[in-house]
């Protein structure tokens, strides 16, 4: 424990203390009757619902996580391809840049019913909606990262006879890696939200379907329990994105450890 840096302890302890205080305040509000129980169930009631419906929630969470992962993978592939094409060809950048931005002005709740109408109530419309939600942060972040490359490094590689692919691989891609993973972290949080919204509007399994059913039966304990599970799944995806970033960018971890030591 003595070897753990103080900054790390603070970074871990601060949010834990804040969460404990928030839950304690929530429980106090419910215990004192400041808010009716049918409007705001207590944390103990929510925990009870989590335990009672644990197996069912786990099954629905697995479906939502599968949709989020598939959609995120598709959105990442589309976003990466678009960013590379926009960086490589100015005409593509001029033509697709406004369309990429325009795609994010359309409300998700307006697109989801159309996808369900076109592709049915299976997994495909959910995956497509997640991909539509997640490709934009990756595209914008990666395109910005490509533009931030040091021009002197590009000129040096070209004077050494590097091909266009080599310039991209050894100069532009490393320079844009940090921006790419920043966009991926944002998209990871959007992925679960997109999947749940799509499930609200039609489906057989998933946390969105579960939420719709318990809401219609006025079971708000289970409603809050599903919200907690959704938050947990989102945090798990975010943690996976951060772990992938650490694995692909070990030099950044080395820099942070050097700063902590100094």
Distance of CA 161 to the CA centre of its chain: 40
Tally of CB atoms within 10 A around 156: 13
**Residue 59: helix, strand or coil by DSSP?**
helix
Query: Given this model, what pLDDT does residue 218 score?
Result: 82
SS3 85: helix
Residue 204 has a CB neighbour count (10 Å cut-off) of 10
In the block, residue with structure tokens 């790419």: 180
- According to the model, what pLDDT value does residue 1 have? 46
pLDDT value, residue 258: 53
pLDDT along the chain (262 residues), means of 10: 59 81 88 81 88 90 93 92 87 82 78 83 89 89 85 83 83 85 89 89 85 85 90 91 84 58 51
Q: Which 3 state secondary structure label does DSSP give 40?
A: coil
Q: Output the pLDDT for position 8.
A: 63
Phi and psi based region of residue 206 (left: phi greater than 0; alpha: psi -120 to 50; beta: remaining): left
* pTM tops 0.75, yes or no: yes
Q: What's the CA gap between 65 and 209, in Å, rounded?
A: 13
Predicted confidence (pLDDT) per residue in 22-54, tens digit: 988 988 888 888 888 778 888 888 889 899 888
């Amino acid at each position: 424990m003595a070897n753990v840096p103080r900054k790390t302890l603070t970074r871990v302890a601060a949010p834990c203390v804040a969460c404990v205080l928030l839950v304690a305040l929530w429980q106090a509000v419910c215990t004192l009757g400041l808010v009716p129980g049918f409007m705001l169930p207590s944390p103990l009631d929510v925990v009870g619902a989590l335990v009672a419906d644990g197996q069912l929630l786990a099954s629905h969470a697995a479906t939502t996580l599968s949709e989020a992962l598939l959609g995120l993978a598709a959105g990442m592939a589309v976003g990466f391809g678009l960013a590379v094409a926009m960086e490589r060809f100015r005409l593509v950048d001029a033509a697709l840049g406004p369309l990429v931005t325009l795609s994010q002005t359309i409300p998700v709740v307006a697109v989801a019913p159309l996808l369900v109408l076109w592709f049915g109530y299976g997994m495909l419309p959910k995956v497509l909606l997640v991909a539509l939600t997640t490709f934009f942060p990756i595209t914008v972040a990666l395109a910005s990262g490509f533009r931030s490359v040091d021009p002197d490094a590009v000129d040096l590689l070209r004077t050494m006879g590097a091909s266009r692919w080599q310039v991209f691989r050894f100069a532009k891609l490393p320079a844009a890696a940090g921006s790419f993973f920043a966009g991926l972290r944002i998209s990871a949080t959007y992925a679960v939200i997109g999947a749940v919204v799509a499930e609200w509007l039609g489906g057989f399994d998933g946390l969105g379907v579960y939420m719709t059913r318990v809401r219609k039966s006025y079971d708000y304990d289970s409603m809050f329990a599903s919200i907690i599970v959704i938050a947990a799944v989102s945090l798990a995806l975010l943690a996976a994105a951060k772990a992938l970033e650490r694995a692909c960018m070990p030099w950044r971890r080395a820099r942070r450890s050097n700063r902590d030591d100094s």
